[in-house]
Amino acid sequence: MEGVIALYIVMLAAFTGYEVIARVPVILHTPLMSGSNFVHGIVLVGAMVALGRADTMLEQIIGFIGVVLGAGNAVGGYVVTERMLEMFRSSGQKKKPKEAA
Amino acid sequence: MAGLLPDNVATLLIDASYLLVAFLFIMGLKAMSSPVTARRGIIVAGLGMLIGTVMSFLYPGMGNFALMLLAIAFGGGLAWWSGKRVAMTDMPQMIALYNGMGGGAAAAIAAVELFRIASAQPGAATVHGPVVIALAAAGAFIGAVSFSGSLIAFGKLQGLIKRSFRFKGQQVVNLLIVAATLAIGASLVVAGHPTMQTVVLFFALALVLGITMTLPIGGADMPVVISMYNAFTGLAVAFEGFVLENTAMIIAGIVVGSAGTLLTQLMAKAMNRSLGNVLFSGFGDTGAVATGDVKGALKPIEPSDAGVMMAFAQKVIVIPGYGMAVAQAQHKVWELCQLLIDKGVMVRFAIHPVAGRMPGHMNVLLAEAGVPYDLIADLDEINAEFETADVALVIGANDVVNPVARTDKSSPIYGMPILNADKAKNVLVIKRGQGAGFSGIENHLFYLDNTRMVYGDARKAVAELIHAIKAAG
């Protein structure tokens, strides 16, 4: 990839990450931490490529470990985030009508 | 090893899918910034992950598909199983665990690349230029630290590691390890053809650093540390994304790295601590807890008596903790408060920034149970009001109301801002059992003369209080 383009991507992605979080109310910080934890589970894709291109036994072993860990990050991150947010939803469903302050 | 599709078609499909992945991730994170859309957000992001993973099987020049599927089934299956059955209270350490796995995966990618460079014949054309090696090494360093550090954080929160290992000059040792790791990392870049031993040493040092950095940090500060490692992993993923020229990894990694850094600062600020403090002061050390000098005894009270006490109060401040959320008692609590309000009692909710180990969790649970926002106050707003309160009702909270944080310099939670429940005329504590809090520290509030304990499950206990207040007419 062309170096300068890569730097543009980094800059824009960094601003995006900052902006997405900056508007988050304090009350949602932890689910968001869990959600962003899930998002970097995309490392699974890279681990798959590393394993897919592995030639030697050593590369295969490390690549295998990488994919196991990456899949754990992605799947685990999704499950716990979803469960946490599910808890929020079930609270919402039982919402009392006289909620107005 | 030919890919599943012609190379140019596969590359086009992958590029297009990664664009979609980046879009879905950002949309998902954005949706997660509001309680109403939060659940949709994780599903949107999940869809992105699924698309990215499936399309990556098309990468040109890949083999080892059986191993790959086995690894995904194994890692994903274990994570699914553990994530589904973990108790809500144990959520922070699970986030730490999964985050550590991500860091480990990033380090593994770097390891494959670096070992490939190391095992190349001397004189052969270099596999990667110095810039790529530097990026791989940087990702390896950060990823490995995040991996071992997160595992230690998991161990501490899970109660597997009980002590905080600290010794004089620990910071100096850590700094030396950082310097050594960076020096070796630099030599990898300069050498171009590093030896296997150098690469192994590099990873070993980075892993040790994660351990020695995290071990001295106590349980109360762990959410901040986990958030920091979350940002670390994001950066490591982005670095390895550059190595593999994988745009999805670069964008997702940088977004998480930047968002995670901001989030870490916000969380540290909410706890009234700086990140440097968290990392270097050894706060929350549970190794030397002074528990022997508690004066007084725990005094139980019948729910009926407690109900009457509140019914005739003028002002009640409710302090909910995670114990209340675990028992799903927030609706009952609001029902109780509505009864009191109807009787002319002034009711307010006091929320500690780290109420229940998950910052901000409490506000949402209360809001969705129907508690009006103006009744909920944070620590700074409410602390002066406790002196005028007749009853402070503590439900499933513990360390955040422990007065030793103000008085006892030897206490691991000394200096943490607390809710001044002890200043209220009467304190009622609803608690499941007699055990100490999350940090293992005896709570002196529970032993005060004006404190009464209501033992039992939070929801049941509150239901009994409601019954008592109704009976009191």
Q: Give the per-residue pLDDT at B289.
A: 46
Confidence grade of residue B399 (pLDDT, cut at 50, 70, 90): confident
Q: Give the per-residue pLDDT at A93.
A: 45
> Under a CB-based contact definition with an 8 Å cutoff, are residues B304 and B462 in contact?
no
Confidence grade of residue B368 (pLDDT, cut at 50, 70, 90): low
Question: Measuring CA to CA, which residue among B276, B258, B159, B257 is closest to residue B213?
Answer: B276
Q: Which of B13, B32, B44, B224 would best serve as a mutation to test chain A binding (most A beta carbons within 10 A)?
A: B32
Question: B201 vs chain A: nearest CA distance in angstroms?
Answer: 16
Average pLDDT value for chain B? 85
Question: Measuring CA to CA, which residue among B3, B108, B105, B102 is closest to residue B57?
Answer: B3
Inter-helix orientation angle B130-158/B91-119, to 10° = 150
Q: Which residue is closest to B226 within chain A, CA to CA?
A: A33
Active site residue B399: yes
> Under a CB-based contact definition with an 8 Å cutoff, are residues B283 and B219 in contact?
no
Q: Give the per-residue pLDDT at B381.
A: 81
Q: CB count, 10 Å around CB of B269?
A: 14
Residues of chain B numbered 400-459 and touching chain A (CB < 8 Å): none
In terms of Cβ atoms closer than 10 Å to its own Cβ (0-12, 13-18, 19+), residue B365 is: buried
Q: Which helix (H) or strand (E) holds B267?
A: helix B247-270
CA distances from B302 to B39, B60, B299, B397, B458 (A): 40, 71, 10, 19, 14
Question: A33 vs chain B: nearest CA distance in angstroms?
Answer: 7
pLDDT at A1 over 80: no
CB within 8 Å of B80: residues ≥ 6 apart: A75, A76, A79
Report the C-alpha gap between B79 and A80 in whole angstroms: 10
Composition of chain A by helix, strand, coil, percent to 5: 85, 0, 15
Question: Measuring CA to CA, which residue among B303, B363, B379, B370 is closest to residue B341?
Answer: B370
CB < 8 Å to B71, chain A: 51, 64-65, 67-68, 71
Question: Measuring CA to CA, which residue among B398, B409, B159 is closest to residue B281?
Answer: B409
Question: A87 vs chain B: nearest CA distance in angstroms?
Answer: 9
Q: Among B61-75, B219-233, B296-310, B355-369, which is the least confidently predicted range?
A: B355-369
pLDDT at A98 over 50: no
Q: Which residues of B141-153 are buried (b: 16+ CB within 10 A; e: fewer)?
A: bbbbbbbbbbbbb
Q: Give the per-residue pLDDT at B357.
A: 60
Of B94, B115, B361, the CB nearest to A30: B361
Confidence grade of residue B235 (pLDDT, cut at 50, 70, 90): very high
Q: Which residues of A43-57 are buried (b: 16+ CB within 10 A; e: fewer)?
A: bbbbbbbbbbbbeee
Say if the Cβ atoms of A33 and B71 lie within 8 Å. no
Confidence grade of residue B49 (pLDDT, cut at 50, 70, 90): very high
Q: Give the per-residue pLDDT at B286.
A: 41
Q: pLDDT for B284-333, tens place per residue?
A: 444 444 444 666 778 888 888 888 889 889 999 999 987 787 777 888 99
Q: Give the per-residue pLDDT at B438.
A: 55
Q: Region of B429 please: left (phi>0), alpha (psi -120 to 50) or beta.
A: beta
Q: Give the per-residue pLDDT at B126.
A: 58
pLDDT at A100 over 60: no
Confidence grade of residue B143 (pLDDT, cut at 50, 70, 90): very high
Q: pLDDT for B85-107, tens place per residue?
A: 887 667 788 999 999 999 999 99
Strand partners, B431: B455
Q: Give the per-residue pLDDT at A99.
A: 38
Question: B281 vs chain A: nearest CA distance in angstroms?
Answer: 24
Q: Give the per-residue pLDDT at B123.
A: 59
Q: Give the per-residue pLDDT at B205.
A: 95
Q: What percent of chain B has a predicted confidence (pLDDT) above 90?
A: 43
CB < 8 Å to A18, chain B: 258-259, 262
Say if the Cβ atoms of A37 and B30 lie within 8 Å. no
Q: CB count, 10 Å around CB of B407?
A: 10
> Under a CB-based contact definition with an 8 Å cutoff, are residues B234 and B255 in contact?
yes
Cα B129 from chain centre: 37
pTM value surpassing 0.80: no
Query: B305-308 contacts: CB < 8 A, separation 24 or more?
Result: B305/B452, B305/B468, B306/B428, B306/B452, B306/B454, B306/B465, B306/B468, B307/B464, B307/B465, B307/B466, B307/B467, B307/B468, B307/B469, B307/B471, B307/B472, B308/B468, B308/B469, B308/B472
More confident residue, A21 or B127: A21
Q: What percent of chain A has a predicted confidence (pLDDT) above 90?
A: 53
Q: Which of A4, A12, A62, A73 would best serve as a mutation to test chain B binding (most B beta carbons within 10 A)?
A: A73
Q: Among B37-46, B63-72, B316-325, which is the least confidently predicted range?
A: B316-325
Report the C-alpha gap between B305 and B126 in whole angstroms: 80
More confident residue, B146 or B343: B146
Q: pLDDT for A60-97, tens place per residue?
A: 999 999 999 999 999 999 999 988 777 654 434 444 43
| Mean pLDDT value across residues B110-136 | 81
pLDDT at B272 over 50: yes
The helix/strand/coil state of B71 is: helix
Q: Give the per-residue pLDDT at A101.
A: 34
More confident residue, B121 or B436: B121
| Mean pLDDT value across residues B404-421 | 81
More confident residue, B111 or B269: B111
Q: Give the per-residue pLDDT at B330.
A: 85
The gap between the terminal CA atoms of chain B, to the nearest Å, is 81
The helix/strand/coil state of B316 is: strand
pLDDT at B275 over 70: yes
Confidence grade of residue B4 (pLDDT, cut at 50, 70, 90): low
Q: Give the per-residue pLDDT at B416.
A: 77
Q: Among B21-35, B121-135, B273-287, which is the least confidently predicted range?
A: B273-287
Cα B272 from chain centre: 17
Strand partners, B428: B393, B452
